[in-house]
Amino acid sequence: MARITFDDVSLTLEGRQVFGPASLVLDDRRVGVIGQNGAGKSSFLRLMAGLIQPDSGRVLLGNSDVFKDRKAALAGIGVIFQNPDHQILFPTVVEEIAFGLTQLGASKAAAHDRALAVLQVQDRADWADRQCYTLSGGQRHYLCLMAVLAMEPDVILLDEPYAGLDIPTSARLHRQLDSLAQSLVMITHDPALLADYDRVIWIDDGLVKADGVPSEILPPFKAEMERRGAC
């Protein structure tokens, strides 16, 4: 199982500490991240993916610093953002999937072939030459998932992957994610999705407020959210 270490990590944005200081080790197969809007969950995920530099401390995937060693981070960690439109860069589906593979060092031809193979396995071979903008929001989400799966990372980070998806699409995506061998770290506002996770981390005001198994963390979280909602 992949191991991500936060070693006394802090992040300040525009003069405000939005995350940390926090030290923790993530080596569980299914980790949920919960917290209110603005609590720092996305910042936590971005730090984990090496997309932003902490002001202090470091984040390691195995022994590699994810911010400094981008190659190791790209190979080991896949990210699916809340809004697929922030992620999709290329006109066609096959190009979008192939891009990540070229980033990992594959030749253009090999990446193209591998992207076609992934589409085939996912029963979406007919999407290869489709223009990404002609896909629906749910289909674009699915494309992002396929692009990440093609890269075979050890860990997949998901920022509210079901936001904006209809019930059948989210159920399908949920089944897909559930069946993956990789470690997942998922931010969600829906605690029910985390009931059978191995671990839940509650982020509050940039700090780890609670960290444990779902049965320990979710009931007090729900009670606290209801209490804050009632104020």
Q: Compare residues 100 and 206 and give the one whose CB is closer to ligand ATP.
A: 206
Residue 26 in contact with residue 207, Cβ under 8 Å?
no
Tokens of 192: 């029910």
Cβ of residue 41: shortest distance to ligand ATP, in angstroms?
Answer: 4
Q: Compare residues 40 and 138 and give the one whose CB is closer to ligand ATP.
A: 40
Task: State the binding string over 26-65 for ligand ATP (x if CB under 6 A, else -).
Answer: ---------x-xxxxxxx----------------------
Q: Compare residues 80 and 119 and give the one whose CB is closer to ligand ATP.
A: 80
188 binds ligand ATP, rule: CB under 6 A: no
14 binds ligand ATP, rule: CB under 6 A: yes
Cβ of residue 170: shortest distance to ligand ATP, in angstroms?
Answer: 18
**Rounded to the nearest 10 degrees, how much is the dihedral formed by the CA atoms of 148, 41, 86, 108?**
-30
Query: Phi-psi region for residue 6, left (φ > 0), alpha (ψ -120 to 50) or beta?
Result: beta
* Sign of the torsion angle spanned by Cα atoms 207, 24, 34, 46: positive
Q: How many CA atoms lie within 13 A of 7 on its CB side?
A: 13
138 binds ligand ATP, rule: CB under 6 A: no
79 binds ligand ATP, rule: CB under 6 A: no
User: Could you give the CA distance from residue 159 to residue 80 in angstroms, rounded to a whole number?
Assistant: 6
161 binds ligand ATP, rule: CB under 6 A: no
Binding site for ligand ATP (CB under 6 A): 13-14, 18, 35, 37-43
